[in-house]
Amino acid sequence: MAETTMTVPVPTHLVSVTSDGFEFVAECGCGWASEWHPSPAEAHAAGVEHSDASIGPPDAMDALMSALLDLQDDLAATVVWLAENWSAHLPALGWYANGDDRHTSRPALNVTGACDPDELQAAADVLGSTLADDSPDERGAVRFRRAARDIGRVRIEVVAPLDRCDRAETAA
């Protein structure tokens, strides 16, 4: 059996401000220390300047980690929203990733469900969405009527085939 251990990353340049009772100094975990300052605000400003100069601009890994943490927040918000709002009488949902590896793509994750036309309006009401029809294309692809809600980079979407929606409306 494999064991996984999670550790919390510690910032390389964690700066704290301390005092001797009269003056204030910023000290970093890397060993750097500012000059003594008459106020904690000035010592803090020196520490911020040190951190900014030492760390530098974000690299690709910083951007990726930040994007993944943002996506994690969006997923958590989606889970809470679904738990509070979605019920068994609504269409069953699945999910898939966008497939675009750029961390700025929207949506990054799709939570989708297919349903009959008569179920679509109930789902749209819960999603707080108006129904929208796909535009026709030159290939004659199957078109859908959709209801969607975006939570950050997660899109919850329910669809019904437009030709079945048209038949249901004609029969009614």
Is residue 61 included in any domain, yes or no?
A: no
- Picking from 55, 86, 104, the residue at the C-terminal end of a domain is 55
Q: 81 and 127 in contact (C-beta within 8 Å)?
A: no
- Report the number of distinct structural domains present in the chain: 2
Pairwise pLDDT comparison (43 vs 127), residue with the higher score: 127
Pairwise pLDDT comparison (148 vs 26), residue with the higher score: 148
Is residue 89 included in any domain, yes or no?
A: yes
Pairwise pLDDT comparison (4 vs 53), residue with the higher score: 53
49-82: pLDDT as tens digits: 888 787 777 778 878 888 888 999 999 999 999 9
Interatomic CA distance for residues 15 and 45, integer angstroms: 11
Domain of residue 25, residue span:
15-55
Is residue 1 included in any domain, yes or no?
A: no
80-132: pLDDT as tens digits: 999 999 999 999 999 999 876 666 667 889 999 999 988 999 999 999 999 99
What pLDDT score was predicted for residue 151? 95
37 and 96 belong to one structural domain:
no
What pLDDT score was predicted for residue 50? 85
Interatomic CA distance for residues 1 and 105, integer angstroms: 37
165 and 106 belong to one structural domain:
yes
33 and 94 belong to one structural domain:
no
Is residue 166 included in any domain, yes or no?
A: yes
26 and 97 belong to one structural domain:
no
25 and 91 belong to one structural domain:
no
148 and 96 belong to one structural domain:
yes
94 and 29 belong to one structural domain:
no
Instruction: Give the sheet arrangement for strand 132-133, strand by strand.
Output: 94-97, 109-114, 154-161, 144-151, 132-133
Is residue 33 included in any domain, yes or no?
A: yes
Interatomic CA distance for residues 159 and 139, integer angstroms: 20
Rounded to a whole number of angstroms, the CA Rg of the chain reads 26
Compute CA 53 distance to the chain's CA centroid, rounded to the nearest angstrom. 29
Is residue 153 included in any domain, yes or no?
A: yes
pLDDT band at 144 (very low <50, low <70, confident <90, very high): very high
11-29: pLDDT as tens digits: 677 888 888 889 999 888 8
